[in-house]
Structures are given as C-alpha cells and as structure tokens.
Amino acid sequence: MANCPQCAAELASDDPAGLCPRCLIQGAFDGSTAGEQAGTQTIVTAESIGDDDFGRYQIIRPIGEGGMGTVYLAEQREPIRRRVALKVVKLGMDTSQVLARFANERQALAMMEHPNIARIFDAGATGKGRPYFVMEYIEGVPITKYCDDKRLTIVQRLELFLAVCRAVQHAHHKGVIHRDLKPSNVLVTEQEGTPVPKVIDFGIAKATDQWAVEKTLLTQFGQMVGTPEYASPEQAEVMTGELDETSDVYSLGVLLYELLIGVVPFDGATIRQAGLAEMLRIIREEDAPPLPRKLTNTGEAAAGIATRRQTDVASLRRLVDGDLNWIAMKALEKPRERRYASVADLAADIQRYIEHRPVLASPPSALYRARKFVRRRRPAVLATAAVIVSAALTAWSLTHRETASSPRLTDKDTIVLADFENKTGDPVFDDTLRQGLSVELGQSPFLSLISDTKVLQQLALMGQPKDARLTPDIAQQICERTSSAAVLEGSITSLGSQYVLGLRAKNCNTGAILDQEQAMAP
C-alpha cells in the first residue's frame, strides 16, 4: 500500500494525487500551489530533488513549497547566467490532475506580459520526466510587510495597490482569474530605489472562457479554492460557486483593508478554528466590519498600526472613515452584483480618492441595510418591529397633539429624525431604529420627513462624512438649514423583558421642547 508523500499516512487505492484526505484538505485551506517565493525555506537534499537533472539550471535552495510542487532558487548557466525561480512537480505527485493543474499555471503565466506580474522564461522536463517551468526570481517581501517596514503612508500604500490592480486587470484581459490574491502572492521588490509589486503564483488560476482543468483536485472533493481570510463568498460555495472577475475584486478588497488598517476583516486563525462548515458560512454570509470599527477593536495595537502609517490613531481613524471605508466595503460586498464590476472600476475609485475627486462608492441605502439586517438577525426582528411600531404611534401622537404651549404640526411641516440614543447595550438597535421608524413615518400621510438625499446633501455641505451619526446637535443644524419645523429625538432603554422608548419633539430654531412622551414596547 502506498503512503502519503507529505505525512507518510497509508493511502487508500482511490486517494487522488497521492495525498491523504488530511493533507488534501490542508492544501485547500492553505490555498496552496507552491508559488510563495517568500515562503519557509528548507534544506535541499538529494531526496528532495531526487538526484534529478535540471539541464542548464543549477538548483541552489528551496524558496517555497505547496501541496503539489516546490519552487527553488536556481541559477541558469547558459546561454546567459542569471538567478531564476524554478517550479517543479514534487516527487510522486505527477498524477494527471496535478499535471493538468501545473500546465494550467504555466500557460497562465505564459500569457502575461505586464511589469507587475512575474515573467515566465522557460519550461521543460527533468531527466526523470518531471515537468518544470522557470520564472522571474522576485527577491522581495509581501506587500503588507514592505509597507509596514518602510512605514508607507496611506496614499503611498494606495499607489502600490493601484499597480497590483493593473496587474490583475491585465490577467483578466487575458482571460485569467487569479483566485488566490493575498500579501504573500504580491511581493514587492525595489528597482533603482522604486518599489515594484509583482503578482506571483497563478497555480490555482482559472480561465474565464472555460474550466482550464475540467475537474481540479480541490473542486473534485468539494473543497474551497483559495486562502480562507482572502477568499470570496463564491469560493466558499464548494460545489456550486462559479467564479468570475469579481472574485478577485473581493480578494483585492481584503488586501486593501489590510493595507489600510493592518488587519483582515476575519482573522484566519479564528475562522479556521471554527471548523469547516462555520468557516465557509462566515466567508459566505458575515459582512466585513467597517474600517473605523475594526481599527478600534484592535485595542492597544492601533497605536503601532498608526505609527507604521506615519500618523496617530485618531488621524488614521478619520482617514479610513468615509470614502476609503466605502471603497473597501463596496469591494467586499457579499453579493457579487453589488461589488465593483471589474478591478479597473475599483482602481478608478482609488485614483479618484488620491486625486481628491468624488468617489463612486457610497453608503448602502437604508432599505438595503434593513433587508440585510432582517436576513442576519431574524430572531431579533420581531422585537425590533414592535418597538418601531410603538415609536411610530408615539411620534404621530407627539407631533400632532396640540397643547397650550405648542400648536400641533401639520403635514406641511418637515421633520428631521435624529439617531436614537441606544441605552440597551444591544447593538441590534444601533442602526435599525432610525431606519425602521423613518420607513414607517415616511408612509404616513400626516407627517413629512426630510429625505435621506437631503440629509446627505446637508452633511456634505457641513463637512461631515456620509455616514455621520445624526446626533441631536447635527440633526438640529440640518433642521435649521432646511427650514424644517422640528427635530424628533429618541432613546431606548431596556427594562426587564421590555423596552422603554422615549421621544421628544424640539423646535429647530429655539431648541425648545415642543412635547415629549414615553412608551413601553414588548
């Protein structure tokens, strides 16, 4: 009985590619071929290269290793002498599936002619018949490490990221999707003192016009193609996830996220520990935290993150709050139709940001956020809906009750609805109360709420970000600027199994309280 070449476990007769199931799945998690030229180095032994003949190439040392192949630093001896990276199929791994995947990578690289993609120089077979190909040796480091080591500013990082986008877009024009974009597959080298990113490792690339490999080793067993923390939702669909260019857009979004604030949306160790099913669910369903929130959640590490970007925490938070956040969030949308349609579109928005021009990315609509909330938190929706209905009834009563000190408001009077003060400690109410109440009151023939469009216009004129909270102070300013009649402020507090809802209407011009009321909600 044969043994697995990686862990020496006994193999069943039908184990594909000579790998045991454990190593096969680990290879899927690692997103591995062997292209990480900055990978862990091991000792070259006669066994590892098999006393094989590599012709005019002299093997120096290994520089990367994956499930199917090994990349060596080698020296080409003729017709010119130069150092190259030589990738060869591992001993005992030359099955039809592996050879097809290897040929796919070689063909993908041969199609590329771009300064930010590692070039292929040559291809052949060893004396023992193992196929190999020879490519440009990139003496560089992962893009995130390079940026941190050099303490590049946010704009400098974005400029490097643009070069990566251009390389990936070139691959897409050639009909190739990378499928494993991550820092270790984007190495930065310096040419005459100028940083040059190079995209490497097209080992799991896919042709867009057809399956380059009809049934790859990974898809054959329903495993994920790519690296979990950088993988798109489609890559986590296992047997049914068809990939297109927007899959690379998503992975670039994760890379952008990490370049900006030093962490990925979902920590790799955490999602792996969750188990395969939960890991795939997170990738498919969980939304990436907004950049400012994720930066805050890094705690004491935020100071070091900011320092490596030549700024302080408060300034970095302001930088990534607004346009940069919306660009990253758009690239990281779970539904692919809501992402940038192409890498070129993502790059164009980054360029607009650098040039201080308006970007196309913007906060999602209140309706879309509400729909996502319903899908994500169905058990909490009933309680929230009950609170919103109570709030709507209370608001209508409050604004239409005539007292001695204040005549009731009419449907001609515009009202500005401020964000609720959430005293429950439950984040479920952070965004949903104002959105839900706005929808409810907007359908009433007796109230006229200022539109979200006008609110965004006023926020821009006030120099506020698009996603600024409508605090009572900001809401009152908008109220005055739009000649509205009143601001409706609200708060919610938990009391046992119920909620206490507080609402009050204030005169925009004087700040005087027109009326206030409390209500209980189940």
Whether the model clears a pTM of 0.85, i.e. scores above it, the answer is: no
Q: What number of other Cβ atoms are within 10 A of residue 273's Cβ?
A: 10
Domain CATH for 449: 3.40.50.10610
Q: Supply the DSSP string of 36-66, one letter for each residue.
A: -TTS------HHHHTT---TTEEEEEEEEE-
**Upper half-sphere CA count for residue 210 (Cβ side, 13 Å):** 4
At 303, the pLDDT band (50, 70, 90 cuts) reads: very high
How many CB atoms sit inside 10 A of residue 384's CB? 21
Q: What is the pLDDT of residue 2?
A: 57
Q: What is the pLDDT of residue 481?
A: 92
Q: Are residues 253 and 171 in the same domain?
A: yes
Is 305 part of a structural domain of the chain? yes
The reply to whether 341 and 260 lie within a common domain is yes
Span 275-281, average pLDDT: 86
- Residue 129 sits in the same domain as residue 150: no
pLDDT digits (tens, 9 = 90+) for 372-422: 554 554 444 444 444 444 455 455 555 555 454 444 556 667 888 888 888
| 2, part of any domain | no
Confidence of residue 510 (pLDDT cuts 50, 70, 90): confident
Same domain, yes or no: 377 and 461: yes
Q: 177 or 405: which carries more pLDDT confidence?
A: 177
Q: Residue 4: its pLDDT value, please?
A: 57
Do 289 and 320 have their domain in common? Answer: yes
Whole-Å CA distances, 126 to 54, 56, 87, 307: 5, 10, 11, 49
Question: Do residues 386 and 415 both lie within one domain?
Answer: yes
The mean of the pLDDT values for the chain is 78
Count up the domains in the chain and report the number.
3
Averaged over 197-216, what is the pLDDT? 57
Tell me, yes or no, whether 415 lies in a domain: yes
Of the listed ranges 44-48, 103-107, 416-420, 436-440, the one predicted with least confidence: 44-48
Phi and psi, residue 460, nearest 5°: -65, -45
Question: Which domain, by its residues, includes 437?
Answer: 367-521
Please measure the distance between the N-terminal and C-terminal CA atoms of the chain and give it in whole angstroms.
Answer: 66
- Are 232 and 114 found together in one domain? no
pLDDT given for residue 127 in this prediction: 87
User: Pick from 310, 330, 362: which residue ends a domain?
Assistant: 362
CA separation for the pair 515, 506 (Å, rounded): 7
Query: Does residue 286 sit in the same domain as residue 151?
Result: yes
pLDDT in tens, 221-231: 344 556 889 99
Q: Which of 180, 248, 345, 431 is catalytic?
A: 180
CATH number at residue 354: 1.10.510.10
Mean pLDDT, to the nearest integer, of 145-172? 97
Determine whether 209 is an active site residue.
Answer: no
| SS3 of residue 469 by DSSP | coil
